[in-house]
Amino acid sequence: MGSTAMTEHGQTLTESGNLRERLEASEKTQRAMMNILDDFDEERRNFQLIQKATLNLLEDVDAERQNSNEAQRALLNMLEDIEAERFKAEQANALLESANKELEAFSYSVSHDLRAPLRAISGFSQAVMEDYAPRLDDEGRRYLGLIQENAHRMGRLIDDLLAFSRLGRQQMIKSTIDMETMTKSVFEELAAQEPGRKIKIKFTAHASPPVYGDSSMIRQVLVNLLSNAIKFTRPRENAQIEFGYLPKLGDGAYYIKDNGVGFDMRYLNKLFGVFQRLHSVAEFEGTGVGLALVNRIIARHGGRVWAEGIVDQGATFYFTLPGSR
């Protein structure tokens, strides 16, 4: 009996140990499951945060898309407005070009048709002067002289009008032009036509850059501006004319300055118009086309021309020519 009791007691202890092991294993399993559940809950919360962030991002993307659509619509409206304005500008330019061509054709026709009767007036008045001068008194000869003088003036007006009308159709042949050399040449030719006058021209120390343009047209610009400077300095005992280049004036500008009679800046808007004169023919000869030609030539070269003047102190004419740097 004692042996049997001991055996049963040993089995009981073994079963008790196995039970504790199973309980410990079960507790470990439970703790592992709890940890897994905690990790899962944390992952779930992270996933919810990611979902919220994704929804916010999608909302932002949708808002940006709406803004982009609005910007596209605004851009399309702007492009439509620009296209409409461009079409209007093209129509206006076409009408202006047509009007200019008609005006040039009309000016050419009128000028050409006026030549024949003008030649007749000049020729017959000259014939009367030569053949019948002895029969005329001083007043009659003076009248004939006025007829001839005004016929010659009308001839110059026609020549200038023809030159102005042809300028719009004249083909430009561009080359590199040494402005200082051309200015000296033009001035010497013009000064030679004023014998007995003290006329000096000064060139600024700053070198004048060459330009790329039509040589004959640019020469005409210099002829017109320098001849005006020489003409309007006649009342001066010592006429001073200056030609130069101002690199810091805008993109750079040439200028011709004189110490002549100048002009009133209130009439600046008339200065470059056709047949516009600020001085009477009795004071200074001219047709009133010279500066209009200058303006048109400079404009055809893509530049601009303007002037400054003070009465009895002189005038300065500026002009720009692209490619002069």
78-134 residue pLDDT tens: 888 898 888 888 888 888 777 777 767 776 676 677 777 878 888 888 888 888 878
- Whole-structure pTM value: 0.59
> In angstroms, what CA-CA distances link 175 with 211, 212, 218?
8, 5, 11
> Which tops the pLDDT comparison, 98 or 16?
98
Residues 6+ apart with CB under 8 A from 317: 225, 228, 255, 256, 257, 294, 305, 306, 307
Q: Scanning the structure block, which residue is given the tokens 């047709």?
A: 287
Cβ–Cβ < 8 Å for 245, 253: yes
> Which tops the pLDDT comparison, 159 or 220?
220
Measured distance CA(232)–CA(283) in Å, rounded:
9
Residues 6+ apart with CB under 8 A from 24: none
178-225 pLDDT, tens digit per residue, is: 999 999 999 989 888 888 887 778 877 567 888 999 998 999 999 999
> Cα dihedral sign for 101, 103, 107, 110?
positive
Tokens of 198: 């003290």
Question: How large is the angle between the packed helices 138-167 and 2-132, nearest 10 degrees?
Answer: 160
Residues 6+ apart with CB under 8 A from 276: 270, 288, 291, 292
Query: Sorting pLDDT into bands at 50, 70 and 90, what band is 236?
Result: confident
